[in-house]
Amino acid sequence: MEKQGSEFGTKGATGITRIVRAFFYSLDGIGSAFRHEAAFRQESILAMLLVPLSFLLPVDASMRVLMIVSVLGVMIVELLNSAVEAVVDYISMEKHPLAKRAKDMGSAAVLMSLLSCGAVWATALYPLLFG
């Protein structure tokens, strides 16, 4: 069995070399999610609209930070959900109750992050629209 991480050249790397390699592997992960995950592409488009919009709205800095973090949180949870799904599918495409549970829980996490994001944005927009 090959050493974990040796395929990626991360074992034995230290200091700035490890940080630089990790950064580029992270960019690879974002690129892979964008290429292979429709939901991540949709959430990326949403982020490209909502993050700039948060700077145009007359909200205080703490609310703006919450608005941005909630949008990025959705993307983070989507990345983790996609990773879980990829590993489950890699292990076996066979239907199994534990595989379904893992995928359903990942999906539920995405849903909860979307609902949280919606609640933050509704809280920010309500006084602007109705106050």
Residue numbers annotated as active site: 78
d(CA 122, CA 117) in angstroms, rounded, equals 9
Give CA–CA dist 40/44, Å, rounded.
6
Query: For residues 128 and 131, what is the distance between their CA atoms, to the nearest angstrom?
Result: 6
What single DSSP character describes residue 12? T
